[in-house]
Structure 1
Amino acid sequence: MDLHGTSALVTGGASGIGAAVVRRLAGLGAHVVVADLKEDDGGALAAEVGGTFARTDVTDSATIQAAVETALEQGPMRTAVNSAGIGWAQRTVGRDGTFESAADLDAFLRVIRINLVGVFDATRLAATAISRSEPGEDGARGAIVNVASVAAFDGQIGQAAYSASKGGIVGMTLPLARDLAASGIRLNTVAPGLIDTPLYGSGPDAEAFKAKLGESVLFPKRLGYPDELARMVVECLLNPYANGETIRLDGGIRMPPR
């Protein structure tokens, strides 16, 4: 699939993994819509790659649709990557055993709304736009990649909400791919392990912490780079036979309980 002259949508595209994907897609000739809440970072990145920033809240369907419509204005939409998400950790039962200290249900629901419902919402709207493109070889119209996490499989203590949200993304990968096959759209999921993103902070303490985390990776013993994840995402988008699959990209790590 040739991306020159096409448009692409990347949710959570202002930083980290999403930003690396934006740069990769722009390098392949796509006009990328950076869909994010971070206006300063997103706007700067869009300017850097010749794309467009669209302020997007993935819990608000109207803003997702507006971002998709922005992409359609730039050319036929062929690709979308959903990487927007948040982290959360809290034990199910509090230390004092009171109902009040039990896991925060509102926080659980917020994680699900952003990480899972937001991904599905963006997928259904992006796929609708992609379905309007003229079919190419084999009737292909485009492809979508959703970003999950190894927490979908190896959730740690306190990660019930996060793992449920990412597990949901993995669980809907095949049925979504089956649904979208009728429209000539492929869909895959990439599940990253420990990736070096701004979430870890910066400075000597942050670097020492990341080095310690990297020791648990099978090989290479370091955190992954955002561009390594972006390369896998782009391969899933461009490889015409990749469909309905979840791919772990984690250096072989299997997360311990804590």
Structure 2
Amino acid sequence: MEITSSLAAVVTGGASGLGLASAKALRAAGVKVAIFDIAEAGPAIAEEIGATFHRVDIMSEESVVAGFDAARAANGQERILVHCAMVAGGGKTVGFDKTTGGFKRAPTEGFERGMLGIAVASYRMASIAALGMAGEDPLNDDGERGTIILTSSCASQDGQIGQVTYGSGKGAVNAMVLPMARDLMDLGIRVNAILPGTFATPPMLGVKDRAPAVFAGLEAAVPFPKRLGKPDEFGSLMMELVRNTYFNGQCVRLDGAIRMPPR
């Protein structure tokens, strides 16, 4: 897909971290960007980079549909969706409870919420975007009408202790990519996912402030380069997935060759 100022994009979670890096990269290329987020700072951040802001709760179908309607009214039909937002949870399947002196399990409700906030939300965003793209004219000789980029995680392939909910949700995202790309192939809509490793997003930078030794260990675990990923490196790969029309149905790790240990 040729990236021009005539294109519009929706970036979820675009007020911070990987989403913000993606929004900035798209704006730098001239793309009209709509940020979907619930962050209080979202409107100011969107104004700063020249994007529109839409308060969208990815757990609510009504909120998401209203967000797409507002974004399309402002910028036109999006041809690019970058979905970075999520709602997750943690906890060991069964672990020892120091308070009671017995064992406890992570509640089913927490697992369900994580699946809704990762897998179901990814389908929600992708399917609503694809429905809008389907009726548009092709952008090039290949018949491309749009591209969808989902955010998975290396935890989908080597999840650590306490990541059964997160790893399962992100694994479902991976499993979604190829059949969805095949569903949408006749419409000229591509679907890919990025599997980031450990990135220097606000939550991880909070670890650096609270526990510098832990943060140093996270950096040392990366084979090369021995540091956390930079959000703009995620943005750079995202832009290549947009540009390169032959990228389709792929789950691409971006992780400095890390393979996560059990804990």
Give the total of aligned pairs: 257
* 1:206 Cα deviation from its structure 2 partner: 4.8
Structure 2: distance between partners of 1:110 and 1:193: 23
Letter in 2 for 1:67: G
Kept in 2, the 8 Å contact 1:8–1:31? The answer is yes
Structure 2: distance between partners of 1:94 and 1:154: 20
Deviates more, 1:65-74 or 1:234-243: 65-74
Is residue 261 of structure 2 the alignment partner of residue 256 of structure 1?
Answer: yes
* 1:45 Cα deviation from its structure 2 partner: 1.7
* 1:136 Cα deviation from its structure 2 partner: 2.1
- Counterpart for residue 62 of structure 1: 62
- Counterpart for residue 233 of structure 2: 228
Kept in 1, the 8 Å contact 2:25–2:235? The answer is yes
- Counterpart for residue 153 of structure 1: 157
Structure 2: distance between partners of 1:206 and 1:17: 22
**CA deviations over 1:200-245 (Å, ceiling 9, x no partner):** 2176445543222010001001100111011111111111110000
Structure 1: distance between partners of 2:128 and 2:223: 38
Structure 2: distance between partners of 1:12 and 1:132: 26
- Counterpart for residue 129 of structure 2: 126
Q: Choose the corresponding residue for 1:197, options 198, 201, 218.
A: 201
**CA deviations over 1:26-62 (Å, ceiling 9, x no partner):** 1111111110111x22111210121111111111111
Kept in 2, the 8 Å contact 1:5–1:75? The answer is no
- Counterpart for residue 7 of structure 2: 6
- Counterpart for residue 143 of structure 2: 139
Partner SS, residue 96 of structure 2: coil
Structure 2: distance between partners of 1:56 and 1:214: 33
Superposed counterparts of 1:58-97, under 5 Å: 58-73=58-73, 74-96=75-97
Structure 2: distance between partners of 1:245 and 1:56: 27
**CA deviations over 1:144-176 (Å, ceiling 9, x no partner):** 100000000001111110000000000010001
Q: TM-score, normalised by structure 2?
A: 0.92
Partner SS, residue 45 of structure 1: helix
Structure 2: distance between partners of 1:139 and 1:98: 62
Partner SS, residue 59 of structure 2: coil
Q: Choose the corresponding residue for 1:109, options 108, 112, 118.
A: 112
Letter in 2 for 1:142: G
* 1:87 Cα deviation from its structure 2 partner: 4.2
What RMSD over aligned residues (CA atoms) do the two structures have, in Å?
1.8
Is residue 182 of structure 2 the alignment partner of residue 181 of structure 1?
Answer: no
Q: TM-score, normalised by structure 1?
A: 0.94
Partner SS, residue 53 of structure 2: strand
Partner SS, residue 190 of structure 1: strand
* 1:68 Cα deviation from its structure 2 partner: 1.4
Kept in 2, the 8 Å contact 1:11–1:18? The answer is yes
For structure 2, list consecutive stretches of 5 or more residues without a partner in the other structure.
none
Structure 2: distance between partners of 1:206 and 1:235: 35
Partner SS, residue 34 of structure 2: strand
- Counterpart for residue 17 of structure 1: 18
Letter in 2 for 1:83: C
Identity %: 39
Structure 2: distance between partners of 1:99 and 1:3: 60
* 1:104 Cα deviation from its structure 2 partner: 1.6
For structure 1, list consecutive stretches of 5 or more residues without a partner in the other structure.
none
